[in-house]
């Protein structure tokens, strides 16, 4: 792996406490109800949650915080896609983990080339337990 030379690249976020304490998550979802539900669930688990309605808003939110551990984003939104947003954020934040969510099945999303087959994907509607499990798995996984 090569070391980033861009002055715009941020260092990997610091290690997390096992309870979620200290983890900052950006939620990007254009559906107000889904965004509110995901935010409440993760906040109640001890995560700091930053909310955005659009990919553009998510970039503004992310630029205001040096350490972001996880991006949870809808795949298709007005103005841009979750995968393009993730690519933009990961270019500046190499340690960023991503969970994609969509009402379109993961099979269709992967076959269309929108997501890689190894991407973490939650099919809407998902349970809060499924969300919490996906978040925990990604945040506890060693950095690559």
Is 120 inside a domain boundary? Answer: yes
Least reliable range by pLDDT among 15-19, 29-33, 113-117, 124-128: 15-19
User: Residue 39: which of 55, 31, 50 has the closest Cα?
Assistant: 50
- pLDDT above 50 for 6: no
Is 13 inside a domain boundary? Answer: no
In terms of C-beta density within 10 A (0-12 exposed, 13-18 middle, 19 or more buried), how is residue 11 classed?
A: exposed
Range of the structural domain that residue 113 is part of: 24-140
Is 4 inside a domain boundary? Answer: no
Contacts 24+ apart (CB under 8 A), 14-18: 14/67, 16/69, 16/139, 16/140, 18/140
- pLDDT of 109 reads 59
Q: What is the pTM of this model?
A: 0.82
Instruction: Give the chain's domain count.
Output: 1
Is 3 inside a domain boundary? Answer: no
Average pLDDT over residues 97-104: 90
Is 18 inside a domain boundary? Answer: no
- pLDDT of 11 reads 57
DSSP state for residue 7 in the 8-state scheme: T
Q: Indicate which CATH number applies to the domain containing 129.
A: 3.40.50.2300
């Amino acid at each position: 792996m090569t070391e980033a030379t861009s002055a715009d690249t941020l260092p990997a976020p610091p290690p997390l406490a096992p309870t979620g304490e200290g983890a900052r998550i950006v939620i990007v979802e254009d559906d107000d109800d889904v965004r509110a539900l995901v935010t409440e669930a993760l906040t109640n688990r001890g995560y700091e949650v930053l909310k955005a309605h659009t990919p553009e808003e998510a970039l503004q939110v992310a630029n205001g915080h040096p350490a972001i551990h996880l991006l949870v984003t809808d795949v298709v939104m007005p103005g841009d896609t979750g995968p393009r947003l993730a690519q933009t954020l990961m270019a500046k934040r190499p340690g960023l983990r991503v969970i994609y969510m969509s009402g379109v099945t993961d099979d269709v999303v992967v076959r269309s080339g929108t997501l890689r087959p190894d991407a973490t994907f939650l099919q809407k509607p998902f349970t809060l337990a499924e969300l919490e499990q996906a978040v925990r798995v990604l945040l506890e996984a060693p950095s690559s």
